Amino acid sequence: MSTHNLSQPLPLPGNRTIIIGIDSITKHGLQSSPVLGWAMRQFLVPGDTLLVVHASKSLDSNAAGAGYTNVMSPELLKTLEHTVEGVVRDMCRNAWGDAGVESQKVKAHVVKGDPRDTIKTLATEENATAVIVGRRGSVGAVKRALLGSVSDFLARELSATVIIVKGD
């Protein structure tokens, strides 16, 4: 397990790189995401770099919306990423107004792969200040122990601050 070097100060709000793990990349899913909603209300400020990540071992129609399958072309993935970025920018505009959005940097990553590995790699590569993910309340202790939890894994493995937002 890695730890943060306490002799180095963390970046000030407005100069941070924040990664947010999301379960859904539909417009409705993003707008109703407890993780994104909490981050907008409680943590993010204009000027932060926001990296929104959706990683799934099989991208399917439940995550991406009708008509998408787990066989997505690179062009389709880029289109999905641009759509996610647009929705998140609109959410920022609603939270902070136009002035805040001008300084907001939003980048989406839609990846077919293990969410744990994807987020860990991105957090390391981007030197993330914090990673914000959700935890589903319906996953039992036995299932979590057998399959592993994305939030538990990230909390153990990352040197960045990991914030776990309890979902539905």
How confident is the model over 19-52, as pLDDT tens digits?
999 988 889 999 999 999 999 989 988 889 999 9
How confident is the model over 119-156, as pLDDT tens digits?
999 999 999 999 999 986 555 555 545 446 888 899 99
Q: What pLDDT is attached to residue 24?
A: 86
The angle formed by the CA atoms of residues 94, 97 and 99, to the nearest 5 degrees, is 145
Tokens coding 96:
């902070």
What is the rounded CA–CA span in Å between residue 90 and residue 104?
Answer: 11
What is the rounded CA–CA span in Å between residue 23 and residue 126?
Answer: 21
In angstroms and rounded to an integer, the radius of gyration of the C-alpha atoms of the chain is: 16
Domain positions in the chain are 17-166
User: Which band of pLDDT confidence, cut at 50, 70 and 90, is reported for residue 108?
Assistant: very high
Whether residue 84 has pLDDT greater than 90: yes
Q: What pLDDT is attached to residue 6?
A: 53
CATH label, 17-166, candidates 1.10.3720.10, 3.40.50.620, 1.10.640.10, 2.30.40.10: 3.40.50.620
What is the rounded CA–CA span in Å between residue 40 and residue 101?
Answer: 12
Question: Residues 18, 128: contact at Cβ < 8 Å?
Answer: yes
